[in-house]
Structures are given as C-alpha cells and as structure tokens.
Amino acid sequence: MIEVAELSKSYGRAKAVDKLSFTAPSGRVTGFVGPNGAGKSTTMRMVLGLDRPSGGTALINGRRYRDFPVPLREVGALLDAGAVHPGMTATAHLSWLAHAGGIPHRRVAEVLDTVGLADAAHRKVKGFSLGMRQRLGLAGALLGDPATLILDEPVNGLDPEGVRWMRTLMRGLAAEGRTVFVSSHLMSELADTADRVVVIGRGRLIADMATEELIRRGSGGHVRVASPHAALLATLLTDAGLAVEQAGGDDALTVRGADAAQVGDLAARYNVTLHELTSHRASLEDVFMELTRDSADHAFTRPA
C-alpha cells in the first residue's frame, strides 16, 4: 500500500505538488492521472525518495522508501525508460541492477522472459525500439519481485499489442496481491486496467475513487432517442425539464438528465412511437476532461 499525506513540492514559488493525499491499496491497480505538468512524476519521485518533499509524507507499506534495507525487493519503479546506457546489452544492464540491489543473478533471465525480451537479451539497448525500452524498464522494476510497483507512463511507445500485454501484466501483478500504481496523462489508457483512479490537476487532488464510480459521476452520459415524431417528443422532454439536442438526422435526439427508462416511459405516456432508445455512458475520458478542464498546465495552453 502507498499512503501519501499532505505531500507538497515547491520549485521556487511554483507548487508542483500541493498538499496531495491519497492511498493506493494492495491487490489493486491504481491509476494516477492528470494533464501534462499536473505533478504526477514529481509525486512518484517523492514516493521513491528521489525528490525531497517540501512538506507531507509518502509511505510504502508504512515505511519511507529510503528506510528499506533492500529497496529493490520492496518497490519496483519504471520512471524513465530512456535512462539506460545505450552501449549495454539488456542482460548487462539488468545484471548490473541485480548486483547493485543484492538480487540473485538468476532473476535476470526470468524477468527478461516475463517481459518478452528473452530473444533480445544480448542485444545492445541502442538498437531497441521505445517499446522494447519500456519492456526493459519494466524488467528492471520486476527484478526484486517487489510487492509494490510504481510505473510512470508504462504504455508510452508501445504498439496496440504491447499495450494489451502491459494491461494484462499489470492486472496479473495486482491479482497476486501487489500494489500497482501507474500514471498516464490519458485516462482512456487506464480505463480497462485501473480499479481505482487518483486524478490530479496543478498538483492538487481532484478525485480519488473507484473507476466505475468516477464514470457514474460524470455528466457526459446521455440517452439517444429516435422517433418519427421527434419534434413533439423534443417538446415533451423539454417540458419535463430535460436538456434535449438534435442528434444528427431529423429523427434523433440526445437527451441529458434522464435515463433510457424515463425517456421511454414519457414517450409511452403520450403514445409517441420510438424507433431507437439507447443509453450512452460517459467515457472515462469525458469525465477526465470535465474534471481537469480548469487545471491543465498554463504553459501547455499558452500560444507559442
């Protein structure tokens, strides 16, 4: 379990992370999402003891990262997949990490196999694609068979097959009881993977809840209804206090503020024939855009 309490980091007068509190439980994939510059990497670096907090605490299974005698056995991290010496082979890089972290050398071949790089074990990293580097970074994170994994944008650079593979792996690691804490600036990347999401913007907590609940709370859901009497139906729905828009084509309407049953019941009461009645849930991406609309990094939106 990762417990972050009132965690803050200032760079001069700028607050990269601002009194952030959340928990990432064990046995779950917790997504950590926010627009570019929201403070995700800074938070992860503080959890990993790489940056010193200006205030607050970050604990992994009740201890600070730097208090673990053999950290690699407790926490595996994938931060910057580019941070590998290009002249090293995959095996040499992992052997060096294993040696430095007090991990038995046999783990090198095991983790290369887990991440699908066994065939590239003796190739130099400079010839690796971004996706292969991500896999190698993940192999490094898994080396000490840790109970906690902290992965910063792990699907970055992976092709669709690689993304699917990474999702399955993350879910498998959580199913084994591990804490999997994974960041992305795209909510959609985590929609099928994360049990919980922690959403931040400008260093502050925006939401911390089960993924399903976050979708439910979003206002992007709507009902699509089509009728040969669309104009009459639109009037009836509007009179009932619902927001109604034309949905493309003369016969179709988009209705917000009611579920499909309520729309269908209302149409039945007035004997209005329906040709279509479908419910559309808000996508996680819709909810995310709604939540973070005002918190995107200024530098990101400022015109060049």
Ligand X SMILES: Nc1ncnc2c1ncn2[C@@H]1O[C@H](COP(=O)(O)OP(=O)(O)OP(=O)(O)O)[C@@H](O)[C@H]1O
Least distance from C-beta 2 to ligand X, angstroms? 16
Q: How many CB atoms lie within 10 A of CB 138?
A: 24
- Which is closer to ligand X, CB of 38 or CB of 143? 38
Cβ 181 vs Cβ 150: under 8 Å: yes
Q: What's the rounded Cα separation, in Å, for the pair 62 and 56?
A: 14
DSSP codes of every residue in 140-164: HHHTT--SEEEEESTTTT--HHHHH
Q: How many CB atoms lie within 10 A of CB 195?
A: 17
| β-pairing verdict for 179-184 and 55-60 | unpaired
Q: What's the rounded Cα separation, in Å, for the pair 139 and 144?
A: 10
- Which is closer to ligand X, CB of 190 or CB of 272? 190
| β-pairing verdict for 179-184 and 148-152 | parallel
- Which is closer to ligand X, CB of 83 or CB of 100? 83
- Which is closer to ligand X, CB of 79 or CB of 90? 79
Distances (CA, A) of 285 to 21, 35, 149, 160, 190: 23, 12, 24, 18, 10
Least distance from C-beta 24 to ligand X, angstroms? 16
Cβ 94 vs Cβ 108: under 8 Å: yes
| Cα dihedral 108, 114, 118, 123 sign | negative
- Which is closer to ligand X, CB of 43 or CB of 148? 43
Which residues of the shown chain bind ligand X in the complex (CB under 6 A)? 11, 16, 34, 36-42, 185, 297
- Which is closer to ligand X, CB of 14 or CB of 100? 14
